[in-house]
């Protein structure tokens, strides 16, 4: 059983330890004296997805594993049909590292992939652990934290870890789909044949926990639209028409699914860049294709949290969000993720 480990200080460029005074001084350009707020370490955002969405007891224990001091679990979204829970974590870099490693260890103890039956594709008990860069300025730190997390999960927990997205140069590994396309059995074959090698950890899948995908990405919006009267074939046809890979909207990933617990079909979408394809545009695309097929469109569902700018120019009601709350707006729950604009930041007068 995973008992947790004492973290090893992680160094970054210049030899400073993340979260240390030297690191803070390097981040702030070595100016002195510093305003009090500059002594606080930056906050980072992680959105791990675990392959359990139906057992409240297990979900509570997984959430507790990630709830370390100084790490806030600001959102938990579970879905029994997908058999998946999405956690949103905010905290300082070193504490987020620890939280993700603790969560991975708890997933080994509590989740057996051989017994999971959700409709969502997955290759691991802790399926994906992305670090999120809200702005381009956040990418360097998010990448550094992600790389350390990958190394620690691989070495401390003996789980194979694959990097994806901006952490790798191979364009074919820019999305989790590359590893999930043939299921966990297909991933195992690719590893056995040497077509895929993990970036950390052993070169074989864990017998019950599979593998972990670790990435760095900008904010992604997970959005589902129910189709109450549609068949699975009709849901898949709509998904196929709207997704980018079939000539649809850029940055839109879509699956047509049937949800046995709810008894409805669903178009499940990931919007990789809401500035290019907004939720309003994605919902309009689903409604247009559903009308073409004569299929009724039901309510929408937001999985996790959303940047405020993604809702600009529309409203939750217009998008069919019947269970939306203001707490799902990222900036409302995580104001400490905002960074001051350098152009308006108080000037430090070094001549006094």
Catalytic hit among 120, 178, 249, 284: 120
Q: Residue 309 corresponds to which tokens in the numbers above?
A: 């700018």
Q: How far apart are CA 17 and CA 9, in angstroms?
A: 6
The torsion angle over the Cα atoms of residues 61, 62, 65 and 69, rounded to 10 degrees, is -100
Q: Residue 213 corresponds to which tokens in the numbers above?
A: 């995908």
Radius of gyration for the alpha carbons in the chain, expressed in angstroms and rounded = 21
| DSSP-derived pairing of the beta strands 44-46 and 84-91 | antiparallel
Residue 88 CB contacts under 8 Å (≥ 6 apart), including other chains = 45, 46, 47, 73, 74, 75, 76, 304, 305
Type and span of the H or E element at 143: helix 139-157
CA angle 335, 219, 324 (to 5 degrees): 70
Residue 177 bears catalytic tag: no
Q: How far apart are CA 106 and CA 12, in angstroms?
A: 28
Q: E strands, the chain, where? A: 44-46, 49-50, 72-79, 84-91, 126-132, 161-165, 212-217, 221-227, 252-259, 264-271, 300-303
What is the torsional sign of CA 286, 184, 261, 220? Answer: negative
Residue 60 CB contacts under 8 Å (≥ 6 apart), including other chains = none
Known catalytic residues are 120
């Amino acid at each position: 059983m995973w008992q947790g480990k004492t973290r090893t200080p992680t160094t970054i460029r210049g030899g400073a330890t993340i979260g240390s005074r030297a690191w803070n001084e390097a981040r702030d350009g070595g100016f002195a004296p510093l305003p009090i707020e500059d002594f606080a370490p930056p906050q980072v955002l992680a959105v791990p997805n675990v392959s359990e969405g139906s057992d409240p007891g297990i979900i509570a224990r997984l959430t507790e594993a990630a709830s370390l001091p100084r790490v806030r679990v600001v959102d938990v979204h579970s879905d029994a049909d997908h058999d998946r829970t999405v956690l949103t974590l905010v905290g300082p870099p070193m504490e987020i590292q620890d939280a993700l490693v603790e969560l991975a260890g708890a997933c080994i103890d509590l989740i057996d992939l051989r017994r999971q039956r959700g409709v969502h594709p997955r290759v691991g008990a802790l399926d994906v652990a992305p670090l999120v860069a809200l702005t381009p300025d956040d990418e360097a730190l998010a990448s550094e934290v992600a790389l350390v997390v990958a190394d620690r999960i691989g070495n401390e927990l003996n789980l194979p870890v694959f990097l994806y997205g901006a952490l790798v140069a191979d364009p074919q590994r820019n999305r989790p789909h590359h590893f999930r396309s043939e299921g966990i059995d297909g991933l195992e074959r690719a590893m056995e044949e040497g077509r895929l090698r993990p970036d950390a950890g052993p070169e074989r899948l864990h017998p019950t926990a599979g593998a972990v995908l670790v990435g760095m990405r900008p904010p992604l919006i997970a959005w589902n639209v129910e189709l109450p009267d549609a068949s699975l074939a009709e849901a898949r046809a709509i998904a196929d028409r709207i997704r980018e890979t079939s000539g649809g909207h850029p940055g839109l990933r879509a699956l047509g699914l049937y949800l046995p617990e709810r008894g409805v079909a669903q178009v499940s979408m990931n919007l990789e860049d809401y500035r290019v394809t907004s939720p309003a545009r994605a919902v309009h695309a689903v409604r247009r294709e559903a009308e073409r097929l004569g299929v009724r469109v039901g309510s929408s569902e937001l999985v996790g949290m959303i940047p405020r700018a993604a809702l600009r120019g529309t409203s939750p009601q217009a998008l069919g969000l019947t269970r939306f709350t203001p707490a799902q707006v990222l900036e409302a729950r995580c104001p400490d993720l905002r960074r001051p604009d350098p152009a308006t930041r108080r000037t430090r007068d070094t001549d006094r």
